[in-house]
Chains A and B, each alone.
Chain A
Amino acid sequence: MSIAGFLDDSIAVAENEFRLFRRNRSAILISLVVLPFFFTASLGAGRGGAGTTYYPTANIPIAWVDNDNSLASIRLWHSLATSHDFRNLIEGYTEQGALAELGTKRIYAVIVVPKGFQNDLENGYQARLILYTDDSEPGVSDQIQATLTTYTQNFDPNVDVQPYLSQLQRQSVAGVGIVTKGAIFAGFNVGLTTVLAIVQIFAGFYEIAGGMSREREDGTYARLLVSPIPIGSIMLGKTLFDVLLSVIRTFTVLAISVYGYGARPNTDILTLLSLSLIIALVTMGIGFVVAALKVGQRAVVIIEFFLILFLFAFSGLIIDSNLLVGASQVISYSLPFTYAFDALKRTILLGRPLLSLTFDLEYMIGSIVATYGLAFVLLHFSRERLIK
């Protein structure tokens, strides 16, 4: 068959896919609206926009119990209460009363200044603060402790107004300043690297594997196979269809992120689009392999769910791959998505040129070739099995 004929067939398959897609309102809604919008908006709601600053502990009600009633303890209270981080310090509790309230959702922590606080500071001893926390709220204890520590480790009991400490100074140990370099990224921008990929993986996998399963279950795949269109054209046609949807999804996510949440990716649109499409192609390759295994539509969705959960654990989304141990690390480094997330971080956050990420690109493109090749072989040799 000539290349022109092959391409004609592929375009015909792609057109057919679009026709089917256009007639399916739910599919349009989920693929182009719900997935990009839902994920991006959830990220913005959880982390705040890229240009906004919020202080996680600012509005958490915390009881302040001063058992020392000294000048030093009053100065400490003043430095905390006038900060951005502890705007909801509540006075007037006794220690017992405050502890009784802990766990009732009226207060989430109690800071107790023990007797002898000032005395210890005056005599050069390390004074203590006791922080009781409602640890049934995930992350709250750690966050309050970390924030409180930044204020206490450089506290000077001899001055009324504590000098303003920058974020860098707050990390320092008394006597040894730690000057940190390296760009600090807005939580939204970090999340964008995940959302951009997850949306493509989510939609791409379902559209390819789910679409082929649906065709098989409806009996239209059998008709497609008995037509003179070769397997390669079917795969290319479906890929072309999904690539176009991926482009729309990428622009949707970016538009919501940039215009809705003030995200400023540290790279150009072409890099973002290229990476996004590479991720979509890797996913489609895996989708074709799964479709060739003759699984039902529902099984496809279940596999997709497990795939996404798997990626969260092993692709460096929650914890960096280099910190994983043993077999988990081997799994992580063998997943093409690990390199995809890495490339997204290096471009969106660090502004590295796409072509400088040679290994990431090689691994992802290699994975596309491998999965498409495997899918082609499987689809070719299981023609009979797939139409039964």
Chain B
Amino acid sequence: MKSFVRDTVGITGKELKQLRRDPVSLILTIMFPILLIGIFIVIVSAFRATTHNVPIVVADLDGSPASNELLNKLTQSRFVHVTQLVQTEDQAYQAVANGQAIGAVVIPQGFGVDLAAGDAFVIVSTDNSKLTSSQFVTEAVNEGAQEIVTQATQEGGVSFGLKLAPIEVITRPVSGRPPTGDPILPGFLGMIAILGAFDDIVNAISRERERGTFPRLALSPVSLFAVYSGKMSATVVLTILRTALMLLIFTLYGLVIRGSLILIFLTTILIAIFTLSLGLTISARIRGTATLTVLEIAMTFPLFSLAGTTTSPLLLAPGGTAIANSLPWTYGNDALRRLIYLGSGFNAIAGDLTILLVSSLILLPIAILLSKRTM
């Protein structure tokens, strides 16, 4: 037992020393978290911009005070920018079809009269191939219409015979955070653990095989179990470092981490160990470092959507939910979200951690067996 621990520590030290000597891998370990967060910041800052200036054209076919009021609301909207006022409905649609505008708003003749009767409508045509921008156009018109109705109701005397939407829905997130919180950051932490562990496999096994040093290691008096254990320990050390870096970035970004830090580290370590076990199994068959890395990357992108990183598995199509539920990473990401956002304790995530642990325990012996066979 003593020699096993000594060998494990020896192999761990060797792995870390090798990483230190390999600038590409070292940079990669640090760059992954920074790049992911950088992309997140770019996207979030775009969504949170105070103005969006989505180009729209407006055809006011009514010319009444009510339609003017709606036009004013649209020109003042923070979502859209009225680039042109056109005379006819067709011109408005044509502008969207030609790509001159992302949306066209048509205020039909009789809008003012109909509004007074509580039965008005406007037509919004959008280029829905612009997925996010088209939503902003509808949002702007909705907001403008709501403001007109509110204004009319408040002014009483000039009431158009309208009323506000009868029921208002007030949302209170259980975490107490604002509803526009950053729900994907814990998932990013999970992804970093996965990517990092995959990368460790490439460094730890495939590269040694390519250089021919793995058979030498296997022929040394160190047991194969101690070799794997050492490589796994190195991954644990690196996962702790990566997790610490991510948590530091989260904190600098202003994210409040509610749960126990120890449990967060434990979860990322278990995610990494499971990924490592899977990587070891795959690397027994696919031996080239580059091929393995390509496969790793190919797996990463679907995992963003299927393992609960960016979207909850609850919102996927039934097939997607079933796949998500069969992936141990989903449970790791789930545990991270509960820890970071809700401050859940060990009992709440014990099931998630058990699934990760059991999956690793099933895969590890398979990986060692396959490695022995293909050595």
Apart from A127-B168, A322-B133: 8 A-B pairs, beta carbons within 8 A: A121-B167, A133-B171, A138-B310, A173-B142, A176-B122, A178-B145, A210-B290, A309-B36
Residue interface mask A313-344, B partner, CB < 8 A = 1? 11000111011110010000000000000100
Q: Is the CB of A121 within 8 A of B166?
A: yes
Chain B residues, Cβ within 8 Å of A190:
131
Question: Taking the complex as formed, is A163 at the interface, i.e. its CB lies under 8 A from any CB of chain B?
Answer: no
Question: Taking the complex as formed, is B127 at the interface, i.e. its CB lies under 8 A from any CB of chain A?
Answer: yes
Binding site for B on A (CB under 8 A): 26-27, 30, 34-35, 38-39, 42, 44-48, 52, 54, 56-57, 59-60, 76, 99, 102-104, 108, 121, 124, 126-143, 145, 148-149, 152-157, 171-185, 190, 198, 202, 206, 210, 213-214, 296-302, 304-306, 308-310, 312-314, 318-320, 322-325, 328, 342, 345-346, 349-350
The residues in B between 1 and 35 inclusive whose CB is less than 8 angstroms from any CB of A are 24, 28, 31, 35
Q: State the interface size on chain B (CB cutoff 8 A).
A: 105
- CB of A310 to closest CB in B, whole Å: 8
Q: List 16 A-B contacts (CB under 8 A).
A: A26-B288, A54-B317, A56-B315, A124-B163, A126-B167, A129-B169, A145-B169, A152-B168, A178-B138, A180-B125, A185-B128, A185-B129, A210-B294, A301-B294, A320-B130, A323-B54
Question: Taking the complex as formed, is B279 at the interface, i.e. its CB lies under 8 A from any CB of chain A?
Answer: no
Q: Is the CB of B317 within 8 A of A46?
A: yes
Partner of B308, one of A27, A42, A138, A156: A138
Chain B residues, Cβ within 8 Å of A312:
39
Question: Taking the complex as formed, is B312 at the interface, i.e. its CB lies under 8 A from any CB of chain A?
Answer: yes
Among the 9-residue stretches B233-241, B335-343, B354-362, the one with 4 or more Cβ atoms under 8 Å from chain A is: B335-343
- CB of B228 to closest CB in A, whole Å: 22
Given contacts A128-B167, A148-B169, A320-B133, contact A47 B320 (CB under 8 A): yes
Partner of A181, one of B125, B162, B288: B125
Chain A residues, Cβ within 8 Å of B46:
319, 323-325, 328
Q: Is the CB of A298 within 8 A of B24?
A: yes
- CB of B357 to closest CB in A, whole Å: 19
Partner of A179, one of B122, B162, B186, B202: B122
Given contacts A38-B302, A178-B122, A318-B43, contact A129 B166 (CB under 8 A): no
Partner of A134, one of B174, B297, B311: B174
The CA of A26 and the CA of B323, in the complex, are separated in Å by: 25
The CA of A143 and the CA of B179, in the complex, are separated in Å by: 12
The CA of A204 and the CA of B35, in the complex, are separated in Å by: 23
Give the residue name and chain of the B residue nearest to A124 (CB).
B163
Binding site for A on B (CB under 8 A): 24, 28, 31, 35-36, 38-39, 42-43, 45-47, 49, 52-55, 93, 96, 99, 102, 115, 118-134, 136, 138, 141-142, 145-146, 148-149, 160, 162-175, 177, 179, 181, 183-184, 186-187, 202, 286, 288-291, 293-295, 297-302, 305-306, 308, 310-312, 314-320, 323, 334, 337-338, 341-342, 344, 348
| Pair count A-B, CB < 8 A | 307
Q: Is the CB of A126 within 8 A of B42?
A: no
Chain A residues, Cβ within 8 Å of B312:
137-140
Give the residue name and chain of the A residue nearest to B129 (CB).
A345
Chain B residues, Cβ within 8 Å of A202:
294, 297-298
Chain B residues, Cβ within 8 Å of A322:
53-55, 102, 130, 133
- CB of B164 to closest CB in A, whole Å: 5
Given contacts A183-B128, A198-B301, contact A141 B145 (CB under 8 A): no
- CB of A291 to closest CB in B, whole Å: 13
Chain B residues, Cβ within 8 Å of A319:
43, 46-47, 132
Partner of B165, one of A35, A126, A145, A296: A126
Q: Is the CB of A314 within 8 A of B124?
A: no
The CA of A70 and the CA of B191, in the complex, are separated in Å by: 48
Give the residue name and chain of the A residue nearest to B24 (CB).
A299
The CA of A46 and the CA of B327, in the complex, are separated in Å by: 14
Q: Is the CB of B49 within 8 A of A346?
A: no
Q: Is the CB of A305 within 8 A of B45?
A: no
Q: Is the CB of B141 within 8 A of A44?
A: no
Partner of B141, one of A26, A178, A296, A345: A178
